[in-house]
Chain A
Amino acid sequence: GQQVMQIPQYQHVQEGEDFTTYCNSSTTLSNIQWYKQRPGGHPVFLIQLVKSGEVKKQKRLTFQFGEAKKNSSLHITATQTTDVGTYFCAGSTTSGTYKYIFGTGTRLKVLA
């Protein structure tokens, strides 16, 4: 079945450092979503990427969808303590459905 892996599993950074998490799918994706979950909270939608090679930015966050639509990345520039949480990617192999398989997540800790 479809598998979505994320690396790294954990990342500790000093405030102000950059952070990147990578998402890799065993199958070609129709689109990919990214979510953030604060400690003790629920996942909150960040963005969706649909096109091959697509790059989107949200302030200090840059999201990229690979050319082959099998991988994606989230890069945070100059991390802040508010960036703490777990970042998940979620991929769908069928356009137009919500059968999204989530990655294992990357837990980010930012040290002040």
Chain B
Amino acid sequence: NAGVTQTPKFQVLKTGQSMTLQCAQDMNHEYMSWYRQDPGMGLRLIHYSVGAGITDQGEVPNGYNVSRSTTEDFPLRLLSAAPSQTSVYFCASSYSGFQVTNTEAFFGQGTRLTVV
């Protein structure tokens, strides 16, 4: 049982480059989200999705795009990388939110991104 899989684990980009961080889950979870983690800032929500075809912005969406064409996948796209986007990125998924007791989030291993 793979859970939440993120790729790549590490990435170095040059300023202005674009790339996609991949996230896949095999638990049939409806809810998926992307967070970035910076020292002293905790985890900040970038974008989230409540199901295939539905996405919404979180706290820090600028510079990032998402789409959700399938239940399993939720890629995060950096359109034009900037040094301020250097961070550790976590993808998370959870069961349907209609049952409040089942909203435990499962996190991927993270992607450490450096923009130079």
Chain A 81-106, CB-CB to B under 8 Å as 1, else 0, gives 00000001010100111111111110
Contact B45 A48 (CB under 8 A): no
Bound form: Cα–Cα A59–B56 in Å: 38
B residues less than 8 Å from A99 (CB atoms): 33, 45, 48, 56, 58
Among the listed B56, B98, B100, B109, which residue makes an inter-chain contact with A31, where contact means beta carbons less than 8 Å apart?
B100
Chain A 1-29, CB-CB to B under 8 Å as 1, else 0, gives 10000100100000000000000000000
Contact B50 A97 (CB under 8 A): yes
Chain A 40-54, CB-CB to B under 8 Å as 1, else 0, gives 001111001010000
Bound form: Cα–Cα A90–B58 in Å: 14
Contact A98 B98 (CB under 8 A): no
Shortest distance between the CB of A32 and any CB in chain B (Å): 11
Among the listed A31, A96, A104, which residue makes an inter-chain contact with B42, where contact means beta carbons less than 8 Å apart?
A104
Among the listed A9, A43, A92, which residue makes an inter-chain contact with B43, where contact means beta carbons less than 8 Å apart?
A43
Cβ-closest chain B residue relative to A97: B97
Contact A105 B42 (CB under 8 A): yes
Total A residues in contact with B, Cβ cutoff 8 Å = 27
Scan residues 14-48 of chain B and give those whose CB is less than 8 A from a CB of chain A.
Answer: 31, 33, 35, 40-45, 48
Bound form: Cα–Cα A33–B97 in Å: 14
Shortest distance between the CB of A61 and any CB in chain B (Å): 16
Judged by a CB distance under 8 angstroms, whether A30 is at the interface is yes
Contact B104 A1 (CB under 8 A): no
Chain B 75-109, CB-CB to A under 8 Å as 1, else 0, gives 00000000000000010101001111101111111
B interface, CB within 8 angstroms of A = 31, 33, 35, 40-45, 48, 50, 56, 58-59, 90, 92, 94, 97-101, 103-110
A interface, CB within 8 angstroms of B = 1, 6, 9, 30-31, 33, 35, 42-45, 48, 50, 88, 90, 92, 95-105
